[in-house]
Copies of this chain bind each other. A is one copy, B any other.
């Protein structure tokens, strides 16, 4: 099983979740995060003072998928989240050694 950590633009969140739903991936956990990278932050000006923030709003999706599906998931996310502009985000893949469904105590791929 793999854990995909997906960083995307907030405005793409619903497209991405919909794309994942489409290929049958329904379980995921989402958070509001701030990103830094090549993309530059917005400048805002208050009373003549310019605040440049390099913390850019992003959303993070964490979703565990089975080994045979994760490439497909990556494709789906890329299609849904890409704009072609700097700042589209990243997907990181890590290995999950074990997974538990708290409600039932199930383990492994049946958890997903």
Contact = CB atoms under 8 A, between A and B. Distances in A.
A45 interface: no
Interface residues on A, range: 35 or more
Instruction: Report how many copies the assembly holds.
Output: 3
Interface centre among A2, A36, A111 (most CB of B within 10 A): A36
A31 B32 contact: yes
A19 interface: no
Contacts of A97: 2, 93-95
A29 B38 contact: no
Interface of A: 2-3, 5, 7-8, 17, 26-38, 54-55, 58, 60, 62, 64, 74, 77-78, 81-103, 105, 111
